[in-house]
């Protein structure tokens, strides 16, 4: 039952897994030994949460380090065992979600902490080497997860998220934000992803080294999360943005904002 709170984060996590299977001509180098999201610049301390939530726990919560069994059981009940096995890494689930969401607005993130498995297939480019672009067929690789994100009942998911919020808050503070509030970070990340530009028509690529890069410097400088949105294709991105807006509105409604 507890794991159903993860549903409120499915749409956000879907963006993270896109970066896992990045470009087909190679992968970015792994993070330096000992690196972690806690080494990233921290937001300035604040007096209190900008988007306060009140946990609505009516049953005792498991301790964070022992929460995986309950979360796996809840996810299986919500999404079904096939989808659970296909999409999710089922160890350190809360910590994986918190770390990945925290890093989506950054240049990169630790793929070893991704809560979602990579999907099959390779990134598809089209055109000659001097005129490469993202192939429209590439968007099909994301279709199943987009459908899964859209299927989440936002009101139910947010209610459970608020009930079990202390686990996410604890994981966020342990990540290196002793004065921070995970709900503030979640809302900020949703807003950041919603600000991803809508690019119509082929997106040009270049290969200055081994990996594909966007030919547009403005797109290449975007965050890991926004690049993931761009790689999904405009239709998938629009559908995920609609779900993110719905989740954000429901979260603020239930929190009394």
Q: pLDDT confidence of 223, banded at 50, 70, 90?
A: very high
DSSP 8-state symbol, 88: B
Residue 239 has pLDDT above 90, yes or no: yes
4 pLDDT above the threshold of 60: no
Distance between CA 227 and CA 15 in Å, rounded? 9
Q: Could you list the residue range(s) of the whole structural domain that residue 91 is in? A: 2-29+50-119+139-195+234-254
Assigned domain for 222 exists: no
Specify if 220 maps to a domain.
Answer: no
Residue 45 lies in a domain: no
- CA distance linking residue 180 with residue 168, whole number of Å: 12
Q: Which helix (H) or strand (E) holds 213?
A: strand 213-214
Residue 66 pLDDT more than 60?
Answer: yes
Count of other CB atoms within 10 angstroms of residue 146: 20
What is the Cα–Cα distance from 136 to 117, expressed in whole angstroms?
23
CA separation for the pair 202, 211 (Å, rounded): 18
**Could you tell me if residue 71 is inside a domain?**
yes
Q: Is 10 a domain residue?
A: yes
Flag whether 171 is in a domain.
yes
Percent of the chain exceeding pLDDT 90 equals 32
8-39: pLDDT as tens digits: 455 444 444 433 333 333 333 333 333 344 44
Q: What DSSP line would sit under 14-74, residue for residue?
A: HHHHHHHT--TT--PPPPPTT--GGGSPPPPP-SS-SS-------SPPPPGGG-HHHHHHH
Tokens standing for residue 127: 């055109």
**What does the pLDDT read at residue 195?**
96
- Compute φ and ψ for 206, nearest 5 degrees: -135, 160
- Rounded to the nearest 10 degrees, the angle between the axes of helix 93-103 and helix 68-79 is 80
Q: Express each pLDDT in 144-156 by its tens digit.
A: 889 888 988 888 7
Tokens of 199: 């690019």
Q: Answer whether residue 94 shows pLDDT above 70.
A: yes
Cα 2 to Cα 221: distance, rounded to the nearest angstrom: 38
Question: How far apart (Å, rounded) are the C-alpha atoms in residues 157 and 8?
Answer: 5
Say what the pLDDT of residue 46 is: 54
CB atoms within 10 A of CB 19: 22
Tell me if 187 is assigned to some domain: yes
Q: Tell whether 76 is covered by a domain.
A: yes
Report helix angle 234-254 to 182-194, nearest 10. 150
Cα–Cα distances in Å, from 172 out to 42, 100, 113, 167, 240?
Answer: 12, 11, 14, 9, 24
Q: Which of 248, 183, 188 is nearest to 52 (CA)?
A: 183
Domain count, the chain: 1
What's the rounded mean pLDDT across residues 163-175?
A: 90
What's the pLDDT at 120?
67
Identify the weakest region by mean pLDDT among 128-137, 173-182, 244-253: 128-137
């Amino acid at each position: 039952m507890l794991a159903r709170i993860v549903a409120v984060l499915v749409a956000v996590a879907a963006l993270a897994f896109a970066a896992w299977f990045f470009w087909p001509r190679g992968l970015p180098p792994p993070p330096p030994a000992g690196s972690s999201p806690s080494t990233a610049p921290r937001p300035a301390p604040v007096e209190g949460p900008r988007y306060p939530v009140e946990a609505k726990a009516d049953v005792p919560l498991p301790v964070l380090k022992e929460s995986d069994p309950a979360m796996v059981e809840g996810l299986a009940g919500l999404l079904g065992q096939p989808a659970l096995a296909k999409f999710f890494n089922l160890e350190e689930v809360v910590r994986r979600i918190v770390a990945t969401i925290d890093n989506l607005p950054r240049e990169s993130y630790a793929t070893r902490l991704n809560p979602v498995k990579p999907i099959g297939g390779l990134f598809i480019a089209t055109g000659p080497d001097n005129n490469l672009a993202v192939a429209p067929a590439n968007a099909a690789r994301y279709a199943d997860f987009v459908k899964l994100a859209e299927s989440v009942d936002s009101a139910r998911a947010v209610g459970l998220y608020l009930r079990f919020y202390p686990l996410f808050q604890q994981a966020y503070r342990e990540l290196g934000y002793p004065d921070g509030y995970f709900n503030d970070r979640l809302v900020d990340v949703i807003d950041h992803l919603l600000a991803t530009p809508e690019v119509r028509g082929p997106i040009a690529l270049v290969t200055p080294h081994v990996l594909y890069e966007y030919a547009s410097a403005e797109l290449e400088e975007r965050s890991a999360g926004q690049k993931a949105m761009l790689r999904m294709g405009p239709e998938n991105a629009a559908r995920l943005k609609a779900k993110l807006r719905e989740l954000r509105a429901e979260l603020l409604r239930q929190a009394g904002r």
